[in-house]
Chains A and B, each alone.
Chain A
């Protein structure tokens, strides 16, 4: 069966304008790739995290207490609302494989093969690890690059390195990835832990509540009952952590990131819709007379609209056929990357069919919706008007009137300027596509700068280079005196650090947070105060809270009292100030007051201001400090370079900014294709005009210049629009980033280099986009051009 003549007309019109149609299809496909890839990623990550994370039966709450035994576990399991309870031990240390030493976190349990809470998924059959061996967590492998059978050395505290064979690898979906945290996670038996010289009693109680739909408050209430039960046995509970039920710790950030990226993907798709609008509008403008003839032949408005909307649907279908497989590939890769950030594996998961159906629907509907306006407008024309149509030589546009008065500009350039304004709607849409891409790009650069400034501001109060945690607490004076003797130390302070929770009036506790106790008049910590005052010498139970804690505990106010539970003891404090800083809740208290509660007046943390800034000099200093302090009987458990901590944080945050920048490139591709399409249309419509130029002596170079200059006018205008548009875009991106990751100061204006760089990009895009239309214009023979109708 052959197609009806009207559909053959549609197909042949498409073939007649195949280059232009192809550009539009590519633009829609590009926009679709951007949007669909993000949607595919989101769907895959969601499916994988939901099924894997929930399948691991994550802990509803975790409590830190003293040695947990079977009898305690049985009592906890009998607490109303508790479905299951298990125990494990977490020990920090250092691990060395082929490279240098890495910080390590070792987990030990009674029976790994029967772990029901936060179940582990072994990569190999060698599971659980036998006594004297270690299983390495999957996400730590990039740090240590070990395989089953290799050997690693492990040090706990001041103990001697102990060689452990790697029995296999295992995945724990509840952990933040080791490669990201720069920590090697390992799983060992309690016997192995004892062999390493570490305490092997179990100290982390993990529970799962009976009601799977219980919200965080309900879980918290059950956790308090468990705490009471544990404390009823004479044990001390130092920490109660209740995560958001059913949500991976990073899931909200990833969701927000994907929503933001998805919004820009949708924007790119929308911009590609403008190009469909341009194409269909141009096609209709060129076929006004044909529309009139078809109406005379009996075509109803609906039939004509159906033809052009059918064309738009066809374009969408072809774009979908091109884009969706590409989006699926990108989506799978991006999902694998995102899932890796969350320590999940998306392999084996398929993009859900409803998601593919949604993408297909968007691919079909968007071009049709974009085409609807010009189609309705074009098909509404009466046959009389259509048959009298005179083409584009209508009234002179306002810009044309202005340009008519311009003098001192070369005629060909003036012609280009006028040409650019002849199809104002088309020019506006093309300009908008390019300008939006530019605004997002400049906005992403601003965000990058804002992140850098924010990280700098975050670390500025920390005027030290190294952090050393000692194996056990010592008097602050002796630590400071011992360290000050070591060459290369410009300054040193011993700090007290602990964990605290706000005790509410109803007897419940808030989430635990880190409380830091610097010495009075600390030179190495200068946290900016946003309300009240900083700690002063002579302060006793004075407390400075950060903005994160104020957000978590809305009942806190500067000048007010607060009861904190530190080391299991409730103590009264007065909030004397509020400090800026990380969004993570934190507080600051006088060293002596805090140390009195945490370690009998002793401290185990020291911060060092190194005399030298270089990484290698600081690493040398760490070695000097380790050996020097050990000679003085102060064993070092772990060390950390602040620069490294800062780099890791900056890398995490900038990665998000980079992802947003990728969307800007999707938009510039769409915008470039739009410009090529616009210039193709403009050249085609002015074939006769080009013929006249040729007939009056215009050379190839002049024709080329007219077309290229017209494209450049649009590109430069888009740049001029993109720069101011990047200001609100920066605000939007900055705020979105602030909600997702870390509040950042909004950088409003892009710097000069960024603006120049973008200018270079749009000029290059313009030259490339106009190359083919300009070439086509050059090749039009004067006679054929003059005969063109």
Chain B
């Protein structure tokens, strides 16, 4: 169902000597330092590490939400670090689906409308087909019955499922999930991990940052970050 739109490049994701520093009141803070990483199409890569290790920064760079201070970020053959600002949003909307820890559903739109929104912004699928596609995605994620409800009426787990459906709306090449279970109870967290793993099994490339201890068993590979550096990739699951 979630067919990548672009011809898979090998590797699909490549980070070459990427460094990211942030200016702070106490001086500059290096979140990532010389990270080099490759991810093949269809991989489910888990990024783990302590708080402040650079997990979210890494996902931010992959999605073009942030730009590297130095180094190159290539996704599907596109040099994301070099894309002009005006080109970043449409590229991101079509190529990358993002799932946030705090769901970030737009509160004044229903679940279905939240899923339709990326299609609307990126002009994907004819207008009359968008709702059907949104409903199909919500159905796949088990929340079709919540389609016409506002986020505030949904549970955390339901909201995160809607957020995943929204991330898949434009059939992106890569699904990036930043602590998607961080705001869920343990039971719901496991269900969410199974769901994402299922997507990966269907061919969806997934990069997920998490603290979840048991998540590694769902992933094909785990990358551990420590103080902004790759401490070592672990073997495939």
Contact = CB atoms under 8 A, between A and B. Distances in A.
Nearest to B127: A4
A290 interface: yes
Contacts of A301: 85-86, 89
Contact of A298 (B66, B116, B121): B121
Nearest to B123: A298
Contacts of B121: 6, 294, 297-300, 303
A252 interface: no
A297 B108 contact: no
A24 B226 CA distance: 52
A204 to B, nearest CB: 76
Contact of B65 (A8, A294, A384): A384
A249 to B, nearest CB: 61
B94 A298 contact: yes
Given A5-B120, A303-B121, A384-B60, A297 B93 contact: yes
A617 interface: no
Contact of B89 (A5, A12, A299): A299
A131 B67 CA distance: 98
Contact of A4 (B63, B90, B94, B120): B120
Contacts of A5: 109, 113-114, 116-117, 120
B1 to A, nearest CB: 19
Interface string A1-44: 10011101100110010000000000000000000000000000
Contacts of B120: 4-6
A287 to B, nearest CB: 9
Interface in B93-118: 93-94, 98, 100, 104, 106, 108-109, 113-114, 116-118
Contact of A9 (B63, B85, B90, B109): B109
A289 interface: yes
A296 interface: yes
A577 to B, nearest CB: 75
Interface residues of B, number: 28
Interface string B64-92: 01100000000000000000011001101
A383 B93 CA distance: 12
B159 interface: no
Interface residues of A, number: 26
Interface string B114-132: 1011101110000100000
A294 B116 CA distance: 12
A382 interface: yes
A295 interface: yes
Given A5-B117, A384-B65, A298 B109 contact: no
Interface in A296-330: 296-301, 303
Nearest to A300: B89
Given A300-B89, A300-B121, A8 B60 contact: no
A643 interface: no
A449 to B, nearest CB: 54
Interface string A373-387: 000000000111001
A661 to B, nearest CB: 44
A723 to B, nearest CB: 42
A298 B92 contact: yes
A56 B109 CA distance: 65
The 5 closest A-B pairs by CB, nearest first: A298-B93, A12-B108, A298-B122, A297-B118, A298-B121
Given A301-B85, A387-B65, 18 more contacts: A5-B113, A5-B116, A5-B117, A6-B121, A293-B100, A294-B117, A296-B65, A297-B98, A297-B121, A298-B90, A298-B94, A298-B118, A300-B121, A301-B89, A382-B65, A384-B65, A384-B66, A387-B100
7 contacts: A9-B117, A289-B104, A293-B104, A294-B106, A298-B122, A299-B121, A382-B85
